[in-house]
Chain A
């Protein structure tokens, strides 16, 4: 009787990498489908969130609310403007939390160390989580935007919808590149709820959640322009509402997002890899 020795795992082929990433995506989607209440809240939250400044503005601005808003931002359609802000906020928040808490969850349940022992890299799995996060975040944001426009009785499909979707698509990769940085923070700091929460708000503040970045002081404005979400938000608002591109033309703003698309994921990967290697060498993987 002969026994077959198990073969050592080699470097996975591209098809296997894709399969592992998609399996991770399916796992997450199946898991979240068990919590319909949570999914419903994701649609309600951006609407309620945008409703705050809408109602505040209507009350303080009175009959002149739309005209004043147009003078300050470039569009009288403040409902769509604020809904776009709150929905981009949803996408950005989802990206940060999903990546950060996927790692935290693996740490807490004790499976992170096992993940490091498989031939599948964490970046492959992070890619699967990112795909899940994109599906969940985009679906929630799109539904919240349409429902919000319906509730506040404005036309959601004005302007160049395809171009707006193009800005969203171009902005996603840099956002997930940034999300990897938050993943690195979780690996390093462990219990980092508060920090991730703060950073999510800091990015939202800088991207002009409910106002144009021109309203910020010059130094903060310069910092804001270094964040991809700022260009995404303004790109979508300009495509749909005509508030004006930073560089005057859509393709120039889009080009900036493409530059971010190249550098943000690389920078995210680099930082993530460094932190990952550091904690592997210093007994940090199994500690939480």
Chain B
């Protein structure tokens, strides 16, 4: 019997793409389901962080205002936290996990298979959506049960803003995956720095009004900052002074552009770095 020397036929067409995506997403989900303790612990951690920050915010409220100010303060913290969680998790699960594949030696194998590279990145998006989404929903429910109903105005628009923000966030994750291919281990420190930069400049836990003027101008240059501003302002029902960075129409336009363009840009960057790494033979170097 003569072994076949023909190269594997590339998997093409939507059916092949979705089949690959489903298989990869299921593999990631299966790994996740094997660690239920981790899920429960992550949830507990999220709850403790949000509660700690809400209690801290309440220390600045006058005694008479504490009952009325509580839901707005909690809303501000919880809604900002949701976007921060997605951004943080995206950096690690999409961006930095490319590094994990590199370390485990499975990245090069993956590139030798006819499977779609985009499906590989997208499968990690699904995990972030399921895992982080579940954490956020549970944290929001628990906070509502503890301190009363969180303000939730303009739900359809808020949902649209969330979808656009997440799309932009995932695009940022693709771009970070590209950076990881280039920087290798140093990407871990960069991810930490990026997260802390977001914590300050995108103001997920406090209003932008608290930032010094210079930093507020820097924030105006960052699309994720508009995503935080628009998402929480919309859910809080546009109280006086909100949104803070730009009028609602401008904010919506920036978030839409971020949500539509960033995934394209991020994926383009990723393919570019990946091609460079393949040509230079550094895909499996770590």
Contacts and interface: CB of A to CB of B under 8 A. Distances in A.
Interface string B39-79: 00110110011011101111111110000010001001100
B55 A211 contact: yes
Give the residue among B55, B62, B73, B211 with the most A Cβ atoms within 10 A: B55
Contacts of B58: 72, 211, 215
Interface in A10-44: 37-38, 41, 44
Contact of B57 (A41, A60, A194, A209): A60
Nearest to B44: A198
Interface in A123-157: none
A68 B65 CA distance: 10
Contact of A210 (B35, B44, B56): B56
Interface in A257-271: none
Interface in A191-215: 191, 193-195, 197-198, 201-202, 204-205, 209-211, 215
B59 A194 contact: no
Contacts of B52: 201, 204-205, 209-211
A7 to B, nearest CB: 44
B77 A56 contact: yes
Contacts of A52: 53, 56, 199, 205-206
Nearest to B195: A48
Contacts of A45: 196
A69 B37 contact: no
Contacts of A195: 37, 41
B147 to A, nearest CB: 12
Contacts of B192: 41
B60 A65 contact: yes
B224 interface: no
B185 to A, nearest CB: 11
A158 interface: no
- How extensive is the interface on chain B, given as a class? 35 or more
B60 A82 contact: no
A73 interface: yes
A189 B73 CA distance: 38
Contact of A197 (B45, B51, B56, B209): B45
Contact of A73 (B35, B38, B59, B199): B59
Nearest to A57: B60
B122 interface: no
A51 interface: yes
Interface string A43-78: 011001001110111111100110011011100001
Contact of B189 (A38, A61, A72): A38
Given A52-B206, A198-B41, A60 B200 contact: no
Contact of B41 (A56, A197, A211): A197
Contact of B200 (A37, A51, A61, A82): A51
Given A55-B210, A60-B69, A201-B48, A68 B60 contact: yes
A221 B55 CA distance: 14
B163 to A, nearest CB: 27
B196 A57 contact: no
Contacts of B199: 48, 52
Contacts of B53: 52-53, 56, 210
A89 B51 CA distance: 16
A60 B73 contact: yes
A48 B49 CA distance: 14
29 contacts: A41-B189, A41-B193, A45-B196, A48-B199, A51-B200, A52-B53, A53-B57, A53-B59, A56-B60, A56-B207, A59-B210, A60-B57, A60-B73, A64-B62, A65-B60, A68-B61, A72-B60, A72-B63, A73-B59, A78-B60, A195-B41, A197-B45, A201-B49, A205-B51, A210-B53, A211-B58, A211-B59, A215-B58, A215-B59
Interface of B: 35, 37-38, 41-42, 44-45, 48-49, 51-53, 55-63, 69, 73, 76-77, 189, 192-193, 196, 199-200, 203, 205-207, 209-211
Closest 5 CB pairs of A and B: A210-B56, A61-B60, A53-B56, A57-B60, A55-B210
